[in-house]
Structure 1
Amino acid sequence: MYEASGDLNNAFISYRNAVNLYLANSGSFFGTTLPEQLKKDVLRTAAALGFTDELDRYQKLLATTYSPKEENIEGELILFWENGLIPFKDQTFYSFTVLPGNTDGVVSIYNEELNLTLPVPISKGKGKNNKFSDIEIFNVAFPKYVKRNPYFFKASIIKDSITTADFQLAQNYEDVAFKTLKDRAVREVSKAAIRLGTKKISEHLLKEENKDLGAALGIFNALTERADTRNWQSLPNSIYYARIPLKKGKNTISILLTAANGISKEEKVYVDSRKGIQFKKITSIKSY
């Protein structure tokens, strides 16, 4: 966007920041490897601004040599390909077991799958520690993502009857979804388990006063235990991009989408050349 508006200095800074983020993460970030086009862009803008030190530095870091091109193009097209659909949220249940021993005023609940042990304070009723041997096992609801595989896995760009390039991955939303959910899994499950343990405390306390009301509260707690499955379902699974030079006049660009079963589909993009950068996108949401 900076480069399209003529602000080459901020464009270079943005390209450099992006490259540095990839390099700081061993060349890959959230399922996306450092795009080759990004390497070219940071070198090209450094050269255009006369930043020779930065140009030399990034040529070494990226193991890439800058090759200036002849300026005979009539503008450029940055074409985005939004492919597939992001995983959708469902819910799963983790079973927790109450471990024996409650003499210290705390009951420990344990989940084998997560290897997670959590302490829940034992409330005191009628001057003595409440009994929790009746709890035994209970379930905690937690959201999970269900993967949707994009129908198409590759897209090739055909210009002037010649295959010029393949799209490069720019953003992998599927990887972002799974990794962020995993990163907060233990914290969120811990909070949910403690919440449910507190519900069980109130349930057992009420049973001491009235067994029917205690049973009713237990049923209510079970029915209301569910995960938050709200999520964006119209985001693409992944976004790819390509930078395409334009010739003078009208340009017809064909994109050949290829599925795993070998079936192909052709999309066409029409663009009139002009100086500077233009943006367009194609979308293929078919998934299974």
Structure 2
Amino acid sequence: MVNLRTHILRVFSFIGLMLFLSACSTYNQSVAPYYKNVSAGNYPQAEKELDKNSLIQTPRNKLLYLMEKGRICHLKGEYENSNNYFNQADQLLDQGLTSASDAAVGVLLNSASQKYKGEDFEKFMIHYYKALNYLYLNKTEDAIVEARRITLQAQEQGDKYNNKDSRYSNDAFALTLQGMLYESNNDVNNAFISYRNAAEIYLKSPDKTYYGTTMPVELEEDVIRTAKLNGFTTEADQFETTFGIKYEPVKPSDGGELIFFWENGLAPVKTQVDLFFSLIRNSNGDLFFTDAAGGIVVPFNYDGDRNRVNTKSVESLRVAFPKYVAQTPYYSSASISVNNQDAQLVKAEDINELAFKTLQQRALKEMSGILSRLAVKKIAEYSLRAAAKSDGKTNGLLEGLGYGIQLYSLLSEKADTRNWQSLPAYISYTRVPLQKGDNQVRITLKNAQGATETKTIKVQGTGRLQFYNYATLR
């Protein structure tokens, strides 16, 4: 029996060692060469690193790979290829990435071993890049389809969280973009509806902020302007009062207008933190997990007989939980001038804030699932070890299995540190008039030390609404 127990321990030790080695590095560390080249602006080399990385090539990471592939192709100016990958990502999301087998993997191993299903704000960002790609390919109708998909995404989010105001159930920036897309197609009615819906999200907050962004003045003016264009005089007056501004219509420029997006920095990375919990029973007999300080209390989701659970069998659980770490952008601010006329950039999307807050919103639910999974393993381990000595003799097989489960549970615990990390940390924008023909757009970038750099791009004024996104990802 001793030899059998030793053999079992060796098998579990080998499995545990493999799990431990795979758990030593986070997702960011495993895909670091790709992200370093993205940050350096070396996009061809970044794509090579992405394509040869074995971790992101696994089936469970397919959605991540497709989003990153779409992103790097967009950065390279390969808009058709970019949308090929984003469309595949959309198809995966439409098909659904949840299954019984995938759920079982999460119970037996950890959430990092399950299929990556995407953060909610990442799904909105797919529409942002797809729409831009279509516009750059002169496929306005396809861009409008993407605008409509933003509404469907918002409805799906609302259904998911029962339209609770405290949860991220919509995206103000995505709705603002939707209005811009409709307007580029001369659909000022739907443009007004989109702008109004975006504004109403901000107005739900007393200080008109939404996940780290204050309502842009550009949006306030767009709501009033499109209301007037539709002849909605009452609505325009009401919004002027609400926003505290008096909008004065401006004569359209002969060259049309440019909506300029500045994408700055890189999205936060996920790392792993270890938390320790005990299982307790309250006076009503209910089971809860609590940390050492007693500041966190999480219900135990258990399908078995709760009265037979020995809380001493779950005296200490180590929980590996994801934590976002922000990456400080190299550039702290930017401004642009078009034909020597200055324009102010305003922040419209704070992906850092979205990442931190949405993780916080679901933390209790995710922690409950992780703790329940670990507790079930611990109870099984305790039961086996108790059964091994139940008749006064030691059963080497049961004892070995008990210790094996203990080792396996300890070493298989790993946080899910995956996310779409080539997204920008922030997106700012402005809307500027263009003259007919050549226009010179100067972007002045400033870093934390006050040093400035200037980039120049040329835009042809065509009389229509145009878009341009500029990325500084270091």
Residues 10 and 203 of structure 1: is their aligned pair in 2 closer, same or farther, counting only changes over 3 Å?
A: same
Q: Establish whether residue 240 from structure 1 lines up as the match of residue 419 from structure 2.
A: no
Could you tell me how far 1:214 is from its partner in structure 2? 0.8
Alignment partner of 1:6 is 2:194 = no
Query: Where does the alignment leave 5 or more consecutive residues of structure 2 unmatched?
Result: 1-180, 389-397
Q: What are the equivalent positions in structure 2 for 1:193-232 lying under 5 Å apart?
A: 193-207=371-385, 208-209=387-388, 210-232=398-420
Shift of 1:180: 0.4
Is 1:147 the counterpart of 2:335 in the alignment?
no
Match of 1:88 in 2: 269
The counterpart of 2:239, out of the listed 30, 52, 58, is 58
Deviation at 1:238, TM superposition (A): 0.9
* Change in 2 beyond 3 A, CA 1:51/1:135: closer
**Equivalent of 1:68, from 249, 259, 274?**
249
Distance 1:250 1:282 in 2: 19
Given that residues 77 and 277 in structure 1 are in contact (C-alpha distance below 8 angstroms), is that contact kept between their aligned partners in structure 2? yes
Residue 70 of structure 1: CA displacement?
2.5
CA spacing shift, 1:272–1:130, aligned 2, 3 Å: closer
Q: 1:166 aligns with which of 344, 351, 355?
A: 344
**Matching residue of 1:189:** 367
Q: Residues 143 and 280 of structure 1: is their aligned pair in 2 closer, same or farther, counting only changes over 3 Å?
A: same
TM-score, with structure 1 as normaliser: 0.90
Amino acid at match of 1:160: N
1:21 paired residue among 177, 191, 201: 201
The amino acid across from 1:55 in the alignment is A
In structure 1, C-alpha distance between the alignment counterparts of 2:303 and 2:248, rounded to whole Å = 70
Whether the 8 Å CA contact 1:106–1:120 is kept in 2: the answer is no
| Residue 105 (structure 1) shift | 7.2
SS in 2 for 1:145: strand
Q: 1:107 to 1:266 in 2, by over 3 A?
A: same
Shift of 1:98: 3.7
Give 1:117 shift.
4.6
Q: Contact 1:120–1:197 (CA<8 Å) still a contact in 2?
A: no
- Corresponding position of 2:317: 138
Provide TM-score, normalisation by structure 2: 0.56
SS in 1 for 2:267: coil
**CA displacement at 1:118 relative to structure 2:** 3.4
1:24 alignment partner AA: K
CA contact (8 A) 1:130 1:205 kept: no
Could you tell which deviates more after superposition, 205-214 or 74-83?
A: 205-214
**CA distance in structure 2 between the aligned counterparts of 1:25 and 1:102, rounded to whole angstroms:** 38
1:268 aligns with 2:456: yes
Instruction: Give the number of the structure whose residues are more often strand, by fraction.
Output: 1
* Higher RCO structure, 1 or 2 (CA under 8 Å, sep 6+): 1
C-alpha displacement at 1:108, in angstroms?
4.2
Output the amino acid matched with 1:215.
Y
Q: Residues 38-57 of structure 1 correspond to what in structure 2 (within 5 A)? A: 38-57=219-238
1:44-65: CA deviation from partner (whole Å, max 9, x where unpaired) = 1111222111111101011010
Change (3 A) 1:118 1:13: closer
Shift of 1:15: 0.9
**3-state secondary structure, aligned to 1:229:** coil
Gaps of 5+ in 1: none
Instruction: Work out the CA distance in 2 between the residues paired with 1:19 and 1:13.
Output: 10
> Structure 1 residues 39, 216: closer, same or farther in 2, change over 3 A?
same
Is residue 169–residue 241 contact of structure 1 (8 Å, CA) maintained in 2?
yes
Classify 1:254/1:130 alpha carbon distance in 2 versus 1 (closer, same or farther; 3 Å). Answer: closer
User: Alpha-carbon deviation of 1:73?
Assistant: 3.5
Equivalent position amino acid for 1:60 in 2: T
Q: Secondary structure at the match of 1:56?
A: helix
- Counterpart residue identity of residue 54, structure 1: E
Q: 1:169 to 1:113 in 2, by over 3 A?
A: farther
1:116 aligned to 2:297? Answer: yes
Distance 1:171 1:117, change over 3 A: closer
Q: Equivalent pairs: percent with the same residue?
A: 38
Q: Which amino acid aligns with 2:193?
A: I
Structure 2 SS opposite 1:212 = helix
Measure, in 1, the Cα distance between the counterparts of 2:366 and 2:429. 35
Greater radius of gyration (CA): 1
1:103 to partner: Cα distance: 10
Give the length in aligned residue pairs: 281
Q: Which amino acid aligns with 2:222?
A: D
Q: Distance in 1 between matches of 2:309 and 2:353?
A: 45
Structure 1 letter corresponding to 2:215? L
Give, in angstroms, the shift of residue 97 of structure 1: 2.2
Look up the SS of the partner of 2:189 in the other structure: helix
